[in-house]
Amino acid sequence: MKTLVFDGNKLIDLGSAEAKKAKKEEPKTKAVKPSNKAGKAANK
Amino acid sequence: MSPLVDADISADTDLLGKTVSDLQEDIVISNGVISGTLHYVTGYTGFDASHPELQEGHFLALHAEAEDATSISVRPLGSAADPVPLDADGLYILHIVNATGIEYYTVIDGVTYLNVYKFDGLVMEPKEDD
């Protein structure tokens, strides 16, 4: 017996257990904004 | 070999903690149209214990079978997700949200079939006041 979720006519969730298996863990990355302070200081 | 999808499930069949009669009444599938009544269900922890938001609302239990099939699966349209194989009982319970019908694929022994059903004549009972 499987459980499925439909929202707006579309099948969006393939049951709790299956959905969890299907979901790939997104890599935990943090965006790093390059600092421009050194360049500004040098230009002064 | 196209799948036979119906709602011919005994009213007292246990569906993960609720019976068929708890979920629905007089469900008939004919010519791509599903009619009957869906009751408003609360506390359906068996449907998805980890998501309380999925334990309340309207649920439709269906049954799929195909002659001589060794495997029946379902998968969404427009998705690369792997099909979910149905168990030998062919039963699956649908949580219906904001839908006027349902569209999905059934995969039988590797062959994909499109299922489209409209909810014309399907009564979704409102939540009863406490």
CB count within 10 Å of CB B81 equals 15
- A2–B103 CB contact, under 8 Å: no
Among all residues of chain A, which has the CA nearest to that of B98?
Answer: A8
pLDDT in tens, B66-120: 888 899 999 999 877 788 899 999 999 999 999 999 999 999 998 999 999 999 9
What's the rounded Cα separation, in Å, for the pair B64 and B46? 21
In chain B, what are the domain boundaries? 4-124
Rg of chain B's alpha carbons, rounded to an integer?
15
**pTM above 0.95?**
no
Does the CB of B99 have a partner CB in chain A at under 8 Å?
yes
What's the rounded Cα separation, in Å, for the pair B93 and A3? 5
CA distance B130 to chain A (A): 26
pLDDT in tens, B1-52: 666 889 889 999 999 999 999 999 999 999 999 999 999 999 999 999 989 9
CB B25 within 8 A of CB B39: yes
Query: What's chain B's average pLDDT?
Result: 92
CA distance A34 to chain B (A): 36
CATH of domain B4-124: 2.60.40
- A3–B48 CB contact, under 8 Å: yes
CB B42 within 8 A of CB B128: no
Q: Which residues of B touch A22 (CB under 8 A)?
A: 81-82
What is the three-class DSSP state of B5?
Answer: strand
What's the rounded Cα separation, in Å, for the pair B1 and B3? 7
More confident residue, A18 or A30: A30
More confident residue, B96 or A32: B96
B-interface mutation test, from A7, A10, A11, most B Cβ less than 10 A away:
A11
Residue B103 forms beta bridges with which residues? A10, B116
What's the pLDDT at A25? 44
Mean pLDDT for A19-31 is: 49
Element (H, E) at A16: helix A16-22
What's the pLDDT at A12? 86
